[in-house]
């Protein structure tokens, strides 16, 4: 499982809940966090290099790109690199359109995701009759990373950030970044008038189960694991409090490594500068 930070743990939690006997390896390129600030070519290169290194060290049956920003640009490249099936995440526009009663939907995502042409395609295909309010604030993923490390969320700033959804009267919100379900309860408290909150976690878990079953993996007969995460790998420094946070999600890790691999612990741009 791959993400630029801790956000992919929301997907890992869903997979573990549906497939408690499946071993997970979590890989976070937090040396280059957040990916929304990086050029596409850097995101693609980092994803390919780190995923290749992880597959060599921990041969796996499936790769899950648990990052919306990365999924919009890297999936074809990853699938060309490896024969291992690759699953990506995309904003859950289709189920949101099915749930919305007043046809007003809010999309909470990173600035990079809300600008992708792929999002416009999803809206045209599945939500053409809906009014979509897009909200992409670069501060939110940073707040969540800091919150995981023990810092409080800035409640007033978060409440102000979500004001466009109140003004638009949305009844359904798509969480278009895997970080955001980690603070789902907080978001619901900020917007109690929203009827439905939609993310991709459960759908990715179902897709994971399907692809593993196709490969003959006896996922339903596997015994639940006390330590479902074989390794949590971070290209930068391991976030403070990570072990206890992961345990709180039911994702106890057998080992946690920072600056992994050593060659990837410094994020270089496409021009080679820091």
Domain ranges of the chain: 2-89+201-264, 93-198
Select which of 14, 32, 47, 67 is catalytic.
Answer: 67
pLDDT higher than 80, residue 30 = yes
Fold identical between 2-89+201-264 and 93-198? yes
pLDDT of residue 269: 57
Q: What is the mean pLDDT of the chain?
A: 94
Alpha-carbon distance of 244 to 246, in angstroms, equals 5
According to the model, what pLDDT value does residue 136 have?
95
The domain 93-198 having CATH identifier 3.30.2130.10: the answer here is: no
CATH 3.65.10.10 assigned to domain 2-89+201-264? The reply is: no
How far apart CA 165 and CA 90 sit, in angstroms, is 21
Q: What is the pLDDT of residue 221?
A: 85
Select from 7, 45, 42, 5 the least CA-distant residue to 204. 7
177 given a catalytic annotation: yes
Q: How confident is the model at residue 112 (pLDDT cuts 50, 70, 90)?
A: confident
Q: Are the C-beta atoms of 208 and 15 separated by less than 8 Å? A: yes
Q: Which residue in the block uniquely carries the two structure tokens 């969320």? A: 153
Predicted pLDDT at 185:
97
Q: Three-state DSSP class for 157?
A: helix
* Set 32, 47, 130, 177: catalytic member: 177
Q: pTM here?
A: 0.94
For range 35-60, the mean pLDDT: 94
| Mean pLDDT computed over 223-242 | 96
Extract the annotated binding site for substrate: 3-4, 35-36, 68-69, 178-179
Residue 185 near residue 16, CB atoms below 8 Å: no
Binned at pLDDT 50, 70 and 90, residue 70 comes out as very high
3-class DSSP assignment, residue 109? strand
> Exposure pattern of 153-174 as b/e (b: 16+ CB <10 Å)?
eeeeebeebbeebeeeebbbbb
Three-state DSSP at 28 gives strand
Q: Residue 29 above 90 pLDDT?
A: yes
Q: Report the distance separating Cα 82 and Cα 74, nearest Å.
A: 13
Detail the residues annotated as belonging to a binding site.
3-4, 35-36, 68-69, 178-179
- Helix (H) or strand (E) run with residue 2 in it: strand 2-3
* Range 156-173 average pLDDT: 98
Helix residue spans in 26-138 (DSSP H): 40-57, 68-81, 93-99, 111-115, 117-126
**232 and 255 Cβ atoms separated by less than 8 Å:** yes
| Confidence band, pLDDT 50/70/90 cuts, at residue 273 | very low
136 and 113 in contact (C-beta within 8 Å)?
yes
In this prediction, residue 264 has a pLDDT band, given cuts at 50, 70 and 90, of low
Res 104: pLDDT:
98
Dihedral sign computed on CA atoms, order 129, 130, 131, 133? negative
Structure tokens at 221: 């007969």
Whether the pLDDT of residue 154 is over 80: the answer is yes
217 catalytic residue (yes or no): no
- Measured over the CA atoms of residue 257, residue 271, residue 63 and residue 29, the dihedral's sign is positive
Beta strands in the chain (DSSP E): 2-3, 24-28, 63-65, 86-88, 104-109, 131-136, 172-175, 196-198, 229-234, 256-257
Query: CB of 98 within 8 A of CB of 196?
Result: no
Q: Read off the pLDDT of each residue in 75-85 and give the average, rounded to a whole number.
A: 96
């Amino acid at each position: 499982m791959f993400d630029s930070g801790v956000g992919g743990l929301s997907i890992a939690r869903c997979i573990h809940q549906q497939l408690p006997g499946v071993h997970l390896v979590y890989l976070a390129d937090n040396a280059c966090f957040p990916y929304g600030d990086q050029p596409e070519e850097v995101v693609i290169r980092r994803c390919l290099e780190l995923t290749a290194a992880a597959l060599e060290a921990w041969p796996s049956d499936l790769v899950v790109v648990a990052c919306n920003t990365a999924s919009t640009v890297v999936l074809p490249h990853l699938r060309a690199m490896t024969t291992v099936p690759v699953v990506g995440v995309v904003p859950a526009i289709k189920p949101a359109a099915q749930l919305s009663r007043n046809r007003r939907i809010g999309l909470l995502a990173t600035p990079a995701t809300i600008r992708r042409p792929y999002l416009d395609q999803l809206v045209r295909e599945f939500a053409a009759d809906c009014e979509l309010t897009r909200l992409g604030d670069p501060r939110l993923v940073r707040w969540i990373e800091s919150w995981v490390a023990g810092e409080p969320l800035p409640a007033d700033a978060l409440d102000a950030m979500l004001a466009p959804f109140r003004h638009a009267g949305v009844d359904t919100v798509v969480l278009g970044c895997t970080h955001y379900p980690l603070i789902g309860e907080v978001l619901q408290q900020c917007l109690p008038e929203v009827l439905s909150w939609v993310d991709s976690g459960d759908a990715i878990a179902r897709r994971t189960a399907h692809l593993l079953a196709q490969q003959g993996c006896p996922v339903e007969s596997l015994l639940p694991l006390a330590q479902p995460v074989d390794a949590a790998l971070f290209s930068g420094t391991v976030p403070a409090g990570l072990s206890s946070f992961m345990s709180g999600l039911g994702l106890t890790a057998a080992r946690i490594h920072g600056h992994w691999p050593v060659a990837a612990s410094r994020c270089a741009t496409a021009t080679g500068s820091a």
